[in-house]
Amino acid sequence: MRKLLESITDRLREFITQRDDLAMVLCAAETDALPLLSILEGIEAERASDFFWTFTDPFADATSYAAVVTRAFAVKHGAVRLAMEQEGMAPWPPIPALVESASTRPATRLRELAAFSRELLPVPNGGVVVWTFFPLEISDAAAYARLMGEVTAHEFPFPWCHHLRFILRDDPAGREVERSLERVPRVQRYTPDLSTEALNQSIEEEAADETLPLSERMSSLLVAAGNDLAFQRFPAALEKYALLLQYHGSMNNYAMAALAMHGMGQVYERMGDFEKANEAYQAALIPASQGEHPSIPVLLNVVLSLANLRITQQRWDEAEGYWDSVQQLATVSRDGPLKVRALDHRGVCQERQAKFQEAEQSWYAGTVIAAQLQDVDLCGNLLERLRNLYTAQGNAGKERVLNEYLTALGRAAKA
| pLDDT tens string 80-125 | 988 888 888 889 999 999 999 999 999 999 999 999 999 998 877 7
CA distance 55 to 134: 6
Q: Tell me which of 22-36, 242-256, 391-405 is least confident.
A: 391-405
Phi, psi of 134 (to 5 degrees): -130, 65
- Domain coordinates of the chain in residue numbers? 2-194, 215-408
Let me know if 366 is exposed, middle or buried by CB neighbors in 10 A (0-12, 13-18, 19+): buried
- Whether omega for the bond prior to residue 157 falls within 30 degrees of 0, making it cis, is yes
User: What does the mean pLDDT of the chain come to?
Assistant: 89
Q: Which pLDDT band, with edges at 50, 70 and 90, does 199 fall under?
A: low
CATH superfamily membership of 215-408: Tetratricopeptide repeat domain (1.25.40.10)
What is the predicted pLDDT for the residue at 317?
Answer: 96
Report yes or no: 40 and 133 within 8 Å, Cβ to Cβ: no
What is the predicted pLDDT for the residue at 415?
Answer: 45
Tens of pLDDT, residues 278-336: 999 999 999 999 888 888 999 999 999 999 999 999 999 999 999 999 999 999 888 89
CATH number of 2-194: 3.40.50
- Cβ atoms < 10 Å from Cβ of 139: 11
CA distance 46 to 30: 25
Q: Which stretch of DSSP H or E encloses residue 168?
A: strand 164-170
Q: Which residue has the higher pLDDT, 234 or 198?
A: 234
Which one, of 247, 248, 277, 240, lies nearest residue 262 by Cα?
277
Q: How far is CA 221 from the centre of its chain?
A: 22
Q: Which pLDDT band, with edges at 50, 70 and 90, does 398 fall under?
A: confident
Which contacts qualify for 84-91: CB closer than 8 Å, 24 or more apart? Answer: none
**Global pTM?**
0.57
Tens of pLDDT, residues 40-77: 988 888 887 899 999 999 999 999 999 999 999 999 99
